[in-house]
Structure 1
Amino acid sequence: MVGTTRTFELFRFADTVQSVTAEVRCGEPPTMGDERYYAAEIVLKSDFVTGRVDLWVSLEDLDEWERCLDTLQAEEGVEWPAGGRGAWLAVLPEDPVEVTVHDSPSTQIAVRVPIDVASDWLEENRLRLDHVRKAVAPAS
């Protein structure tokens, strides 16, 4: 399937009204320096605001997201991805889960979304991470 690009959700925080997801395009990634990055977008949808912001995801970012899921399971907040390359999000595992999407440094706009996630949201996001890892494995 050379040249085929497929999109996978890396994570999804959603309820019946709003959601925040990260969609990673898996296929032939461009290379920046010594690291391979995959094009991705953080997608926010709600009755109030809808938007998309671009970012680049590396294999190291996937490992970092796994550590973030562990931290969220311990009921501590996280910020992802690290490094200040562009867009990022902060997640607080409260009731409801609070996700803030930051478009930085371009517009410096941040949108905070409280989301009543399902009880299995951590397990579902671990499965999404596994799917992305499998999709990028042949190219790594």
Structure 2
Amino acid sequence: MVDGAQTLELFRFADAVQSVAVEVSCGAPLVRGEERYYPAEVVLQSGFVNGRVGLQVSLEDLDEWERCLDALEAEEGAEWPAGGRSAWLDVVPDDPVEVTVHDSPSTQIAVRVPIDVAPGWLEENRLRLERVRAAVSASS
């Protein structure tokens, strides 16, 4: 992540054994045309595999993640971020929740992680989203 920038979790799916999270660097954005992008990483930890893959998160991606949380609350699957420009996640709200991390278009590797999430995981992830939104708004 970028030195000196505040790094916050946008979301986290975790149990006692494994987790998948996205960490966003909430410092100065990379500006491309009208869009602002913030450096981020998908962080996967388990007894089998540990890894990080980079991506860029825009304000539109934050809105899209909120829609994904709504879909997960309705017990529908979600894919994030849209557009195929970087690594992405597929989340299926089964029991356990299945999170698949896709490193596309780079290595074409995908890792599926079943996670026994704790009660309240949706609310916690909504709070994480709001903290990231507030931090990137303060840095713009």
Q: Could you state the TM-score of these two structures normalised by the residue count of structure 2? A: 0.96
TM-superposed CA distance for 1:4, in Å, is 4.0
Where in structure 1 are there 5+ consecutive unaligned residues?
none
The alignment partner of 2:62 has SS state of: helix
In the alignment, structure 2 segments of 5+ residues that lack a partner are none
Structure 1 counterpart of 2:80: 80
1:9 aligned onto 2:28 = no
Report 1:1-140 matches (<5 A): 4-140=4-140
How much does 1:92 deviate?
Answer: 0.2
In the TM superposition, structure 1's runs of 4+ consecutive aligned residues that sit over 3 Å from their partners are: none
Code of the residue aligned with 1:96 in structure 2: it is P
CA distance in 2, matches of 1:30, 1:36: 6
In 2, Cα distance between equivalents of 1:97 and 1:127: 19
One-letter code aligned to 1:79: E
Aligned partner letter, 1:67 = R
Equivalent pairs, count? 138
Q: How far does the alpha carbon of each residue in 1:89-124 deviate from its partner, in whole angstroms, 9 at most, with x for none? A: 000000000000000000000000000000110000
Cα distance in 1 for partners of 2:81, 2:75 equals: 18
Q: Per-residue displacement from partner, 1:47-88 (whole Å, max 9, x unpaired)?
A: 000000000000000000000000000000000000111100
Residue 139 of structure 1: how far off its partner (Å): 3.2
DSSP-derived class of the 1:42 partner: strand
> Which whole-Å deviations, capped at 9, do the CAs of 1:112-138 have from their partners, x for residues lacking one?
000000011000000000000010112
Matched residues, percent identical?
Answer: 74
Q: TM-score normalised to the size of structure 1?
A: 0.96
Q: Name the SS of the counterpart of 1:112 in structure 2.
A: strand
SS at match of 1:72: helix
RMSD of the TM alignment (CA)?
1.0
1:32 Cα deviation after fit: 1.6
